[in-house]
Structure formats: C-alpha cells, structure tokens
Amino acid sequence: MSDAARSIVLMVNGTAMSVAPGTTVAAAVLMAGAPTRRSVTGEPRGPLCGMGICFECRVTIDGVPHQRSCQILCAPGMSVSTAGLPTS
Amino acid sequence: MRDSFDILVAGAGPAGMAAAVSAAAAGRRIGLVDDNPAAGGQIWRSGGELPGDARRWIASLEASGVVRLQGWRVFDAPRPGVLHAERGDGECAELGYKSLILATGARERFLPFPGWTLPNVMGAGGLDAMVRGGVPIAEKRVVVAGTGPLLLAVAAHLKRHGARIVAVCDQAPWSRLLRFGARLLTEPAKLRQGVEYRMAIRGARYLTGCWIVAAHGHDRLESVTLRQGNKQWNVPCDFVGCGFHLVPNIELPALLGCRVDHGFVSVDENMQTSIPGVYCAGEPTGIGGVELAVLEGRIAGLAAAGRPEEARKLARRRRGKLGFVGALEQACALDPQLRSLPTGDTRVCRCEDVRFVTLHGHSTWRDAKLQTRCGMGPCQGRICGPATEFLFGWRVESVRPPIFPALVSSLGSAFESDGPHPNSAPEGAFPTFAKETP
C-alpha cells in the first residue's frame, strides 16, 4: 500500500500510526503488535470472530472502555489503548 | 431517538438487504437496522472485492429510500412492536414497527483446543473479516481449518491477498466431501465456485479428515500441530483461521418468542414465524448459503409488504433449494473425536476463562452457568454455548434481555411509554435521523 493511501493517523497505546480509510480499529491494533485485551486470568487475547460477537477485541477508544474494535473504523485523531494501558 | 416503520428489518446481510429492497418497492416506510459499520453482512463484508450480486443489492438498497440504521445493535424487545438498539457511542434508539423481518445471520462454530485462545488464532471467517478490515496478510503463513465450504472460500480470498496458505484442513473425511461434491452437480454455480476456489489455492495442501490438535506460542501464535489419522506433525504459521461451519444467530427471534425447532427458527412458506407479522429469512431458518438467503429475504419482504402472489412464486423456487440445507449439514457433521481436543486446562469459556476440567460433572448449561460462570461473560455464551452443545450435549436456553451488553443508561426506563424516567435525557436530547446514517 502506498503511503498516500494511509491517510488516517491515530494513536495506538501512545504511538502514532497511519492506516488506510476503511481500516478497523482491530486491524490497527493487530498491526501495532498489541493484544486487544487481557483475559480475567491475565492471558493476552486478540480478535476471534471478526464480526462483533465474541467480545475478544474490546479496547478503550477515546477513553470509552469495552469498545468492540472489529466493528469500528479508524478515524483521524482517534486514541486507542489496549489491555488496560492508559490512553495517551 | 425514536422512529417507527411499517416494516423494520433487523440485519443488513444478503437476506436483510433483499427483504428491505423487496418491501420498499411497495412504497412503505422501511427501516433496516444493522450492527456492522456497512451493509453486506458477513459474507458480503465490505473491504476488498465484492461479487456482482453483492454490488447490485447494495446499489438497489442505496436507491431504495430505506431508512438505514447502520452501526446499531438491537439489545431488547421490550413489548410487541418495539425494539431497542444502541450505538457504539452510547446513543439509544426506540424503533417501532408494524411488521418485523429478522435477518440476523449466522456465526462460526468454534471448538476449543489447546492454544485456541492465543492471539492470531481466529475463526476462518474471522480472519477473512480482519483482512477485509485492513490486516496485511501478504507473505504471512496461514493455516485454514475446521469444516465447511467457507474454508476454501477464505483460503482463496487470502491467497489473492498474497497469503502463503500452508494447509487447508477439513475435519470431514474425503468420502463425505466427495458425496457433497456430487450433490453439487445439481447446483452448477456452487460447483463452479468451489472448483475456482480450489484452483486458486493449488499448491497448498488440502487435507481431509484432518484438524488442529493444538496451537503453540508464547504471547501469540507460532505454530500448530495437525493430525490426520494416526499422523501428527507440527507446522509453523503466523495466522490460523479455524471455524467449524456455522450456527444461526437466533437470540433475537428467541427473545421475541418465535418458535425454534432443533436450533432453527420455524417459518411458513411466506417466511412468517409463529408470531403473526414477524418474519425470518436467511441462515436462522437453516444454513443454506447466500443464494437461498437472498431468496428468503425477497419472499419475506414481499409477504410483509402485502404482495402474496409474488411471494408465492418465489416460495416455489425456495422449496426446490431446501435440499441443499440438509446436504450441507450432513457434509459438515462433526467427527466425535473432536470432543477429545480440549485438555483439562483448555479454556472453554473465553470471557470468564472457565477451563474444560471445571465443566465436568455439570449436567446442564444452566447448572454450569450457575456454578462456573461459563457463558456469563459479555458474549453471553455465543462462543462457548455451541461448543458445549457439541462437547457435553447441553442445550443453550433461556434467552433474556439485554441480548447484548448495553449501557445502564440504555436499559430500563429511558423509553417507558408512560413518560420519561426522571434521570433520562430531556425530550429532544436524542437527535432524530436523516434518511441516511453515515
């Protein structure tokens, strides 16, 4: 993908990254190399169903926790934090 | 926000779009509420190329004047003629209807095996959806496993995006897949598509009677162990897409009180459920694929819009296609050996981290829920329910609101008909909708 196509800049765990329009927050988090959440016994987890049913892809977006990142598209200036890390 | 419709359609996949468009032609006020960011459902998920049929239905929908509520999740049906939905930003909607068409689709069946909770182990359709959502897959090593026609479709799609398909493993034995292939001779379009998918991934190993017995890695997936017969071997990989065919999303129909028979919503030839004025179309009435879903959607739309003659014509065509539902179910029947995949420590309920060993000794789904918290997390048993049904023979029952997690502010009294709750937002605080929702 050309850099020009990655026109949306957002923060994932405090680091800026750029993605193409239409990219889901779950995809951005995966590209950033972060698990989406820690399970109740502390295991790292990532997306499973990709369709908003399993709730494994829950992250905090702009301070709002428990957002299903596979159902939400990246937007300019969005700030995403995962696995209990503070939003930058 | 409040709105009301002559006909409300829940779900904007192939069945829901076809229903809304077919009903709209009769010039009524139609609403289409859907949880995803864009119409198309799972099989026609946006991102990447879509087949011609999908593009045509999406174009028809855009031209139809149907009020589209995209990104709204229905969580309650507080009384007849009313659904409650919530948007990601916490906004809440009360949606009234005279007729309702349920097109809630299906999800993958997941079966637990050691390591299935590792990041980068996903459903087959799940991985496909993630790639459509922007995950770069070029040069990544991918194992696609589970069962059903979805596996080849996913492998072919990922290959087109540059993935290195290491293996496609279907748990069904070769003899049974051959029989299914022969059945497809009466469905030439499906057969052609299957052959195209297979050709697209030539060079990849296509293994039958084969499944993943374990996934390995520290913080994410590094390899899987495959088993075929007595053979067992390790395969390094970056992603796994593993799903065991589909289970219908019947939570909303069940909440409404629609009769459910052997896990599927019962309908008459107009696709009407046991509740007058409530219709159901697509996978919740039987897993039959996209072509049948569209046909059922059209029938439901026409019937709900009071055009029984046209609906009846299509109903005849539907009858001819129902045999495929049973053939598909037979082809995807699960091998009993898959019941021995989880070890004692394997998480069965991912939300509450309930281990396989913990579930032994419980006799029902309800008992396990009460004693172990299995199925009590945010997915409400959508993932572990179908798994325990296969592993232990439990029947998942007692659907009750909210059928998805909802904010406290969305629950209860914000929409009571006898006036607003004292703590609820003042009248007019919720913006009303323009015709199109961005």
Residues 6+ apart with CB under 8 A from B138: B161, B162, B163
Exposed e or buried b for every residue in B299-327, given b needs 16+ CB within 10 A? Answer: bbbbbbbeeeebbeebbeebeebeebbeb
Q: What is the pLDDT of residue B39?
A: 95
pLDDT tens string B10-25: 999 999 999 999 999 7
pLDDT tens string B396-432: 877 889 999 998 888 865 555 444 433 444 444 433 3
What tokens were used for B35? Answer: 């949880």
Min Cα distance B76 → chain A (Å) is 16
- Compute the C-alpha angle B319/B322/B325, nearest 5°: 175
Residue A12: pLDDT band (50, 70, 90) is very high
Q: What is the pLDDT of residue A87?
A: 39
As for the ipTM of the complex, it is 0.94
Min Cα distance A72 → chain B (Å) is 7
> Of B224, B399, B243, B355, which Cα lies nearest the Cα of A54?
B243
Q: What is the pLDDT of residue A4?
A: 56
- Compute the C-alpha angle A50/A53/A54, nearest 5°: 80
Mean pLDDT of the residues in chain A:
91
Chain A hits for B46, Cβ within 8 Å: 22
What are the helix (H) ranges across B116-187?
124-132, 150-160, 174-183
What gap in Å lies between CA A54 and CA A52, rounded to an integer?
6
Please tell me which of the candidates A30, A44, A58 has its beta carbon nearest to residue B130: A30
Q: What is the pLDDT of residue B270?
A: 97
Say if residue B91 is exposed, middle or buried (CB neighbours under 10 Å; 0-12, 13-18, 19+): middle
Residues composing chain A? 88
Q: Do A51 and B121 touch (CB under 8 A)?
A: no
The residues on A that touch B, with CB distances below 8 Å, are 1, 19-20, 22-24, 26-28, 30-31, 35-36, 39-41, 43-56, 58, 64, 66-68, 70-73
- Answer yes or no: is pLDDT of B343 > 70: yes
What tokens were used for B191? Answer: 């057969």
Residues 6+ apart with CB under 8 A from B428: none
- Touching check for B6 and chain A: CB below 8 Å? no
Residue B59: pLDDT band (50, 70, 90) is very high
8 Å CB contact between B243 and B169: no
What gap in Å lies between CA B123 and CA B243, rounded to an integer?
5
Q: What is the pLDDT of residue B398?
A: 77
8 Å CB contact between B235 and B224: yes
Chain B hits for A26, Cβ within 8 Å: 130, 133
- Answer yes or no: is pLDDT of A84 > 90: no
Q: Is the dihedral of CA A88, A16, A53, B38 positive or negative?
A: positive
Q: Do A49 and B128 touch (CB under 8 A)?
A: no
Min Cα distance A65 → chain B (Å) is 11
What tokens were used for B307? Answer: 């055009």
Q: What is the pLDDT of residue B222?
A: 98
8 Å CB contact between B20 and B304: no
Nearest chain A alpha carbon to B70: A71
Q: What is the pLDDT of residue A6?
A: 87
Residue percentage of chain B with pLDDT more than 90:
85
What tokens were used for B301? Answer: 């739309």
- Touching check for B26 and chain A: CB below 8 Å? no
Chain B hits for A41, Cβ within 8 Å: 353
Mean pLDDT to the nearest integer, B369-379: 96
Q: What is the pLDDT of residue B416?
A: 53
pLDDT tens string A27-46: 999 999 999 999 999 999 99
- Touching check for B123 and chain A: CB below 8 Å? yes
Say if residue B409 is exposed, middle or buried (CB neighbours under 10 Å; 0-12, 13-18, 19+): middle
Please tell me which of the candidates B35, B134, B136 has its beta carbon nearest to residue A22: B134
Helix (H) or strand (E) holding B4: strand B2-10
Q: Coil, helix or strand for B331?
A: helix
Q: Do B378 and A55 touch (CB under 8 A)?
A: yes
Mean pLDDT to the nearest integer, B222-242: 98
- Answer yes or no: is pLDDT of B434 > 50: no
Helix (H) or strand (E) holding B310: helix B308-321
pLDDT tens string B266-315: 999 999 999 999 999 999 999 999 999 999 999 999 999 999 999 999 99
Mean pLDDT to the nearest integer, B359-365: 94
What gap in Å lies between CA B266 and CA B285, rounded to an integer?
6
Q: Do B127 and A28 touch (CB under 8 A)?
A: no
Nearest chain A alpha carbon to B385: A54
B161 half-sphere exposure, CB direction, 13 A CA radius: 24
* Least confident window among B41-50, B66-75, B149-158: B41-50
Cut 0.80: pTM above it: yes
- Please provide the DSSP assignment of B43-75 as one string: TT-SSS---HHHHHHHHHHHHTT-EEEETEEEE
Mean pLDDT to the nearest integer, B100-117: 98
Return the bridge partners of B101, or none.
Answer: B9, B279
Question: What is chain A's Cα-based Rg?
Answer: 12
8 Å CB contact between B36 and A49: no
Q: What is the pLDDT of residue B425?
A: 42
Q: Do A71 and B134 touch (CB under 8 A)?
A: no
Say if residue B48 is exposed, middle or buried (CB neighbours under 10 Å; 0-12, 13-18, 19+): middle
Backbone angles phi, psi at B240, to 5 degrees: -120, 135
pLDDT tens string B164-182: 999 999 999 999 999 999 9
Chain A hits for B90, Cβ within 8 Å: 64
Q: Do B130 and A45 touch (CB under 8 A)?
A: no
Residue of A12, A51, A58, A80 best to disrupt the B interface, most CBs of B under 10 A:
A51
What gap in Å lies between CA B72 and CA B39, rounded to an integer?
12
For residue B116, the one-letter residue type is W
